[in-house]
Amino acid sequence: MLGSPALDRASATGTTPSRLVRAEFMKLRTTSAWWLFLGGFLLFTALALLNNWFSNHYLLYPQQDPADRAQALAQAAQAHTPAGVAAIAASMMTSGQFLSVLIVMLLGVHVATNEFAQQTAVTTFLTVPRRERVVAAKLAAAACSAALLWLIATAIDAVVTPVFLHTQHVSTSLTGWVVVRPVLASLLAFVIWAVFGIGLGALLRDQVVSIVVAIGVYGGGFAVVELVFHAIYDLSHQGWILGLPVIAPAVASQVMVTAERAFPHAPPQWVGAVILTGYALALAAAGTAVTRRRDVT
Amino acid sequence: MIILLAVIVLGGLIWLMRRGRGTAGRVEVPPPPPRPPGPPAVVRPIPRERLADGRIVITGLTKEYPAGRVVDSLSFVVEPGRVTGFLGPNGAGKTTTLRMLLGLVEATAGTATIGGFAYADLDQPIRRVGAVLEAGAAHKGRTGRDHLRIICQAAGLPLARADEVLELAGIAQAASRDFGGYSLGMRQRLGVATALLGDPQVLLFDEPANGLDPEGIRWMRELLRGLAASGRTVLVSSHLLGEMEQLADDLIIIAAGRLIAQGTVASVTGAMPHASRTLVRTPDVAGLAAALGGDAAITQASDGDVYITGADAAAIGDAALRAGVAIHQLVTQSPDLEAAFLEVTAGKAAIR
């Protein structure tokens, strides 16, 4: 209006999926959120690498402790076998898995809830009244960000792991399936947790409540489910009960990513993948449905 | 271990959010004064055959919350090429009505259309309708320019359009500053800039004068008049009749979610109970009443003051002179529209 060279020059394309996703990336990029999430992510990755470095080192070379020295030596011998070294390499290559996906989930929560916290939701939904398109763009943007974070973490791990193996005087191929499978499963976990976070945020809308619930589901859910099923096991002594904690999303994620069994009686990896994907898709669907219908005031 | 880390993460995230939100704690740089508005820009007129696309039709619109009805069977039409004032006391349902019109709030019953379409069914809605709903609807940690560019990106408009509307709204000099540091007046102007992005034919403003200084109010008034003169539809909500009297061509008055009056400013204000009255102080009320005859209505207040309607001061003075009645005071009390407006809407607006 009032004479617009910009509007006259370029014919407006209208809302397209790719422009919507780019708009979501702009929202992330134009505030300090992106750098804070990246910083937190790098910090957790570094801490996890440090932790894995030492725990794997002591697994290979146990300290002199007469009490359970025999058991430690047996474990060390097991760790020095080709399969043992491959498992150690896999754990190094997926360092930070446990806490990094928490950051990724919180990133999803942030992308979904920040527009309500900052009152930009009205403008967004006036621009794109078909709200499911906005949620879809947020899902895509969060999933892409998650994949990018995975790439960064994997790149760091891929530098540190060979150094670690060299200093421990063991060697294994990092391109073997035993190592590559958990690394790829980790990519899947990152993307699914981002979707999980968006779904949760869209459903709850309130930013602080969503963050508390997200952390509760992740950390608390882990502990509570383990406790409950161990208590049931103590009563019944049925081994399969110890595999049931996989119904908690965080446990399912661990089951999916771990190279071998995540814990005794753990179900196979694909069971974890199916359960985690199920949660994420159900939350995303519920979040989209609620966002479509709910009044924006 | 997990719990400890969770607490660390939670603390960090809450800090992050406070940072995003909180320019409250930041030292606020005094905003440079908005650029004085230049001569009214030439507004591209809307072709005659497209005028009907700007017509807003509200039919039987109702919004019911568990706590009660906020909007109750509301029907009215807003015509293009005019500034329409949407008036009502706070809590009358103005904002809810605008939000239903924009598809943000789902109506319990009734329809609200723009050029015959529900907002959500419009192709490229921000190229048809621009709305300023609340000042302060941008991320506090994002610059004004980025806020607008994101909307351009999502709507498929060229990103360069952001700078054009910043210029139009007179806040080009604040384009690269974080929204959190904007004054209320600058936030209103950014809201206007946002509404103008798509060069829309229909403009909706919810209480646009809030927070503006006299200069800003004059700028806003000229802008709205210019937009209406070009054939655009301009609907402006307000709770002040005086403000709308100077700006609007048409008025729609609601209270408690119901339509109270609709029409041109003259017809609506003319119909309000605000006939002038004359205050008289006299020791002989009965004598004056007899002198005035049956046309004048006389009411006596408890303090002895007499109010007369149906005869003006000159007629009362002449009649008193003829009858030999002493007059100690004779004052014409002119109509008070704002008071009349309050009277018309009084008791109908629940506090919400």
What is the complex's ipTM, to 2 decimals? Answer: 0.89
Looking at residue B275, what is its pLDDT? 63
Range from A74-83, B72-81, B342-351 that averages highest in pLDDT: B72-81
Closest CA to B124 of A74, A209, A126: A126
More confident residue, B217 or A5: B217
Q: Do A1 and B200 touch (CB under 8 A)?
A: yes
B196: confidence class by pLDDT, cuts 50, 70, 90: very high
Residues of A with CB below 8 A from B146's CB?
Answer: 26, 30
In this predicted structure, the answer to whether residue B36 has a pLDDT above a threshold of 70 is: no
| Other Cβ atoms within 10 Å of A16 Cβ, number | 12
Cβ-count burial B199-231 (b if 16+ within 10 Å, e if not): bbbbbbbbbbbebbeeebbebbbebbbbbbebb
Looking at residue B41, what is its pLDDT? 53
B39: confidence class by pLDDT, cuts 50, 70, 90: very low
Instruction: Give the Cα separation of A86 and B254 in Å (integer).
Output: 75
The beta-carbon neighbor of B153 closest among A1, A26, A31 is A26
User: Chain B contact for A99, CB < 8 A?
Assistant: yes
Looking at residue B309, what is its pLDDT? 81
Q: Do B134 and A130 touch (CB under 8 A)?
A: no
pTM of this structure: 0.83
The beta-carbon neighbor of B137 closest among A123, A211, A297 is A123
Q: Which of B8, B13, B197 to mutate to test the interface with A (most CBs of A within 10 A)?
A: B13
Residues of B with CB below 8 A from A33's CB?
Answer: 16, 20
Q: Which residue of B has its CA nearest to A10?
A: B158
B3: confidence class by pLDDT, cuts 50, 70, 90: very low
What's the order of all strands across the beta sheet hosting B297-300?
B297-300, B306-309, B277-281, B329-333
More confident residue, B329 or B274: B329
In this predicted structure, the answer to whether residue B121 has a pLDDT above a threshold of 80 is: yes
Tell me the pLDDT of chain B averaged across its residues: 84
The beta-carbon neighbor of B139 closest among A14, A120, A128 is A120
Looking at residue B335, what is its pLDDT? 62
Q: Which residue of A has its CA nearest to B98?
A: A297
| Other Cβ atoms within 10 Å of A32 Cβ, number | 13
Please report, for residues A149, B78, B263, B349, the alpha-carbon distance to residue B258 in angstroms, rounded to integers and kept in the order given.
Answer: 54, 16, 15, 10
Looking at residue B5, what is its pLDDT? 53
Looking at residue A262, what is its pLDDT? 77
pLDDT beneath 50: ranges in chain A: 1
In this predicted structure, the answer to whether residue B147 has a pLDDT above a threshold of 90 is: yes
Residues of A with CB below 8 A from B99's CB?
Answer: 295-297
Percent of chain B with pLDDT over 90: 49
Looking at residue B4, what is its pLDDT? 52
The beta-carbon neighbor of A295 closest among B12, B104, B120 is B104
Q: Which of residues 195-254 of B touch A (CB under 8 A)?
A: 196, 198-200, 227
The beta-carbon neighbor of B124 closest among A2, A12, A99 is A12
Q: Which of residues 214-233 of A touch B (CB under 8 A)?
A: 215, 218-219, 222-223
